[in-house]
Structure 1
Amino acid sequence: MKQSEQYQLVIRSLSDRIVEAQAPIRVLDAIKWDDGIRDAFFKKRCKALPEVTADYYAQRPLSFDPAERRQIFQDIERDITRQLGSFNPVGQIMRRMCREYRMVIRMLEARGTQDFGLISQELYGAASDAFHAGDPTLTDLGITLSESLKNIARTDLAREPKTIAAPEAVEILQARMNEAFPDDQAVRVFESDGIVADAAAGADYIKIRTDALFNQRDLNILAVHEGMVHVATSLNGQHQPICTFLAKGPPSSTVTQEGLAILMEVLTFNSYPARLRKLTDRTRAIQIAETGGNFLDVFQFYRDEGYSRDDGYNNASRVFRGSSSEGLPFTKDLVYLKGFILTYNYIQLAVRKGKLQQIPLLFCGKTTLEDMRTLGQLVEEGLVVPPRYLPAPFADLNALSAWMCFSGFLNNLSLERVEADYANIL
């Protein structure tokens, strides 16, 4: 066997071990609240904190042995160093994945305690995080966007009735997925009553909440967000012949994943003000919890913003799932706005520097921005294959490059001065 073939087999073996080791770790399943918590909250007229503590989670044991799983990742990390060395690029990516998964296990062991929220901040960030030194924070971004959205909310644009029930939504989206992934007809769309969001994507499926209602714009968003990003990157990762770890995403890849998904919504003109408002409100809700607010405070925030009682509960429970009802929040929902800004900046800089070939590699699996240069090298070495499925805006980079060039220039204009100049005509 040639040395290069032996090298590829070592990488493939270690990569497969990571994929197998992470299989039983299902974060959202481990932290979701059961229907009894919701029913009790409404029975008490939304006046008492949900009875969610560490004892509540202790009654719902994890689906794996945490100590055993941590040791497995420790052993894989040790073998990566032994077989690939300390500075091998692929090895560095895989070792970081092992460390992240061990941190995820620690977070899940800490359900219902303060440590859960602290580890969540390490993995996903905090609302007080700045993008760069001296720049606005995620909270600042959420507040700024909310002010603009309030003006739009007063117009008719904000009113699009939701008349499409889950069964019809499943049928429409299934047809879209069959068209988008002709070589992977196993991509399924089905109803589920076990999710908090209206929809969620897995490796080869999209789940639709049984009692959710949609309009056509909602379904267009699900097609590009869940289908052409989350499902597509999962399938592209599964088609990797050597670096199979790209099929599975640790927390660091969630930022890139959700950033690409929101960017796709914008580039395909499917996003809309109410959708963006939902994302900014999630950021503001997490900030409330980070600064001492409890479940009732966050629930009341959503009610004050015009959300229904049910939607207020669902959104507040997203913030505190995994934590207690007055503990630090689960901060994963910050990655939507954070990921959008970071991914947008990456693509704009790639265009400015003429490195367009790097952009499609965002879709070769569950990627992380800090790994993009390494992934480019791995493609050149034949260890990573380019993505099989690319959404239209990224399949032909001509229009995207032109859009980014104009966008880069417009970012340098002073909006305050423009507003003053246009005062007499707007």
Structure 2
Amino acid sequence: MKPEQITETARRLRTAESGVRILRTLSWSPEVRREFFARDARELPRVTYPVMNAAPIHAQLAEIRRGIEGDGTVARWLRRCADAIGSSADMLASAGTPAFLEYGKRLYGTPTSQQGDATALALAQTVERVCDSVAGLDLGAPSAACHFATAVAQGLRRACVRLFGDQAPEVVVVDQLSANALAGPRRIQVRRDACFTDRDLNQLIQHEAYVHVCTSLNGRAQAKLPILAASHAGTTRTQEGLAVFAEFITGTQDPDRLRRLADRVLAIDMALRGADFLEVYRFFLGRGIPREQAFENARRVFRGGVVEGGVPFTKDVVYLDGFLRVTNMLRAIVAGGRADCLSLLFCGKLDLEDFPALAELSEIGLCAPPTYLPPWAADRRFLVSYLAYSQFLDGVRVDEHRSHYRELLGRTDTAPWGGETVPTDIPTRGAVIDG
């Protein structure tokens, strides 16, 4: 394809994508929550969704596909984008029916989707075991505190101005929001009644501002590839995985945050196995979560699906699944001496599978380098050191070493200031990234 054809196709895909708004379409009215608690949380929520006709989107995509020539790397990328947009439209058109699940699985995967020999479900189960094992330990955290949304918003504003300058998005406190915070290229919203811990501000900076806003602004700057500004479902796994990796590599993640991500996967797995909304809601209550937040957590699992069970919205699998995939890609980049690929992650809204196409497009001048990079990606010294060590651990036979240290710990008295001991039955293969 000629450069001008590629740019025109990318523009038309961006236009088609703008007609598919997943979270907005699947949102629940505040009245659903009010009625749920008015009935003492004993009956399933009553939810309806707007009727969507996917035919106009598919007509647009059919016309776009006719203009994609050949079967090269770039052509396959453009078709993948079209496929993701089409599947998203079909998913929205099937909201509230069993067919919704099949499109969701195609776009986001499931808790047992494989990444090498690891799955998001196995990682979630390991997180659950570890968090349970350290529940009685003093991890050095400060006393519990609730930071107001206004203070968190002020911190986000300062961080955004520091990295993005006059391109920094507006940060506003709003009354209604599906999450504690939500980021876009022009605005970051913070929910007024959300309660934030001492770690939440830095997590939001790394996750929402320095990844989601960063890739949005970089994508909007791609004048010759407008589709890179679009947060379509085909990019969600990589974007959320990259954002969770950013929390991890900057040391802003904590057990509570990791447990929340794991619980989402466990709840989706429950719903896939037939649990209804009430069972999932009670699962979150059993975690010690206040009833309003337990409702919101369960809502995330069932929005667009069937509240009677069996048909969840699998999107929230992508946080851990994408974390595994992004980490393994970064390890491969370091092991292969391909540090040139690091900046590709931030060129816009993309999937890891897009790397070959974007590298080719960079060569012919269609894909521009990212304007903004978060500090951990701009100064890669710690990143490369960590990934090099992680790569080395691939070749270490962990079980042999573990048996020796387990025996050693068995001969060690409990330290009087150390708290409770950690269980020894935590799996090492298939649950977390190898190493």
**Equivalent-residue separation in structure 1 for 2:308 and 2:397 (angstroms):** 42
Could you say which residue in structure 1 is the equivalent of 2:214? 232
Correspondent of 2:396 among 401, 408, 413: 413
Identity of aligned residues (%): 35
SS at match of 2:316: helix
- Superposed CA deviations along residues 289-333 of structure 1, whole A, max 9, x for unmatched, are 001111111111111222121121110010000112114100000
**Equivalent-residue separation in structure 2 for 1:372 and 1:136 (angstroms):** 22
Show the 5 A alignment for 1:79-118. Answer: 79=67, 81=68, 85-118=69-102
**Equivalent-residue separation in structure 1 for 2:390 and 2:119 (angstroms):** 21
**Equivalent-residue separation in structure 1 for 2:391 and 2:160 (angstroms):** 33
TM-score normalized with structure 2 length: 0.89
User: In the alignment, is the contact (CA less than 8 A) between 1:259 and 1:338 conserved in 2?
Assistant: yes
SS at match of 2:368: coil
Deviates more, 1:233-242 or 1:194-203: 194-203
- Superposed CA deviations along residues 194-213 of structure 1, whole A, max 9, x for unmatched, are 32210111233211112112
**Equivalent-residue separation in structure 2 for 1:362 and 1:35 (angstroms):** 36
SS at match of 1:182: helix
Could you say which residue in structure 2 is the equivalent of 1:31? 26
User: In the alignment, is the contact (CA less than 8 A) between 2:12 and 2:64 conserved in 1?
Assistant: yes
**Equivalent-residue separation in structure 1 for 2:346 and 2:110 (angstroms):** 26
**Equivalent-residue separation in structure 2 for 1:266 and 1:160 (angstroms):** 22
Show the 5 A alignment for 1:246-257. Answer: 246-257=228-239
1:40 to 2:41 alignment: no
User: In the alignment, is the contact (CA less than 8 A) between 1:204 and 1:234 conserved in 2?
Assistant: no
**Equivalent-residue separation in structure 1 for 2:367 and 2:255 (angstroms):** 38
What 5-or-longer segments of structure 2 have no aligned partner?
415-435
Show the 5 A alignment for 1:61-140. Answer: 61-62=51-52, 65-79=53-67, 81=68, 85-132=69-116, 135-140=117-122
Offset of residue 380 of structure 1: 2.0
Offset of residue 350 of structure 1: 1.0
User: In the alignment, is the contact (CA less than 8 A) between 1:152 and 1:273 conserved in 2?
Assistant: no
Residues 136 and 351 of structure 1, relative CA distance in 2, 3 Å threshold: closer
Could you say which residue in structure 1 is the equivalent of 2:325? 342
Offset of residue 386 of structure 1: 1.2
Offset of residue 169 of structure 1: 1.7
- Superposed CA deviations along residues 404-424 of structure 1, whole A, max 9, x for unmatched, are 111122344344444443314
Show the 5 A alignment for 1:128-167. Answer: 128-132=112-116, 135-157=117-139, 161-167=144-150
Residues 163 and 138 of structure 1, relative CA distance in 2, 3 Å threshold: closer
Could you say which residue in structure 2 is the equivalent of 1:3? none
SS at match of 2:115: coil
**Equivalent-residue separation in structure 2 for 1:160 and 1:223 (angstroms):** 22
Could you say which residue in structure 2 is the equivalent of 1:295? 277
**Equivalent-residue separation in structure 1 for 2:187 and 2:396 (angstroms):** 43
Deviates more, 1:148-157 or 1:360-369: 148-157
**Equivalent-residue separation in structure 2 for 1:159 and 1:329 (angstroms):** 37
SS at match of 2:165: coil
Show the 5 A alignment for 1:341-420. Answer: 341-420=324-403
**Equivalent-residue separation in structure 1 for 2:166 and 2:72 (angstroms):** 34
Higher relative contact order (CA 8 A, sep 6+): 2
Could you say which residue in structure 1 is the equivalent of 2:190? 208
What 5-or-longer segments of structure 1 have no aligned partner?
1-5
Could you say which residue in structure 1 is the equivalent of 2:423? none
- In the TM superposition, structure 1's runs of 4+ consecutive aligned residues that sit over 6 Å from their partners are none
SS at match of 1:371: helix
Residues 209 and 221 of structure 1, relative CA distance in 2, 3 Å threshold: same
**Equivalent-residue separation in structure 2 for 1:210 and 1:279 (angstroms):** 22
User: In the alignment, is the contact (CA less than 8 A) between 1:238 and 1:246 conserved in 2?
Assistant: yes
Q: Which amino acid is the alignment partner of residue 76 of structure 1?
A: I
- Superposed CA deviations along residues 332-361 of structure 1, whole A, max 9, x for unmatched, are 000000001011001101111111101221
Residues 162 and 196 of structure 1, relative CA distance in 2, 3 Å threshold: farther
**Equivalent-residue separation in structure 2 for 1:418 and 1:44 (angstroms):** 55
Offset of residue 215 of structure 1: 2.9
RMSD: 1.9
Residues 175 and 396 of structure 1, relative CA distance in 2, 3 Å threshold: closer
Q: Which amino acid is the alignment partner of residue 116 of structure 1?
A: F
Q: Which amino acid is the alignment partner of residue 66 of structure 1?
A: A
Offset of residue 23 of structure 1: 1.5
Offset of residue 45 of structure 1: 1.6
User: In the alignment, is the contact (CA less than 8 A) between 2:73 and 2:356 conserved in 1?
Assistant: no
User: In the alignment, is the contact (CA less than 8 A) between 1:240 and 1:384 conserved in 2?
Assistant: yes
Could you say which residue in structure 1 is the equivalent of 2:286? 304
Q: Which amino acid is the alignment partner of residue 16 of structure 1?
A: R
User: In the alignment, is the contact (CA less than 8 A) between 2:124 and 2:265 conserved in 1?
Assistant: yes
- Superposed CA deviations along residues 267-293 of structure 1, whole A, max 9, x for unmatched, are 111000000000000000000000111
Q: Which amino acid is the alignment partner of residue 20 of structure 1?
A: T
Structure number with the higher helix fraction is 1
**Equivalent-residue separation in structure 2 for 1:274 and 1:282 (angstroms):** 13
Correspondent of 1:326 among 308, 311, 318: 308
**Equivalent-residue separation in structure 2 for 1:142 and 1:384 (angstroms):** 36
**Equivalent-residue separation in structure 2 for 1:279 and 1:388 (angstroms):** 30
1:194 to 2:176 alignment: yes
User: In the alignment, is the contact (CA less than 8 A) between 2:10 and 2:227 conserved in 1?
Assistant: yes
Deviates more, 1:103-112 or 1:70-79: 70-79
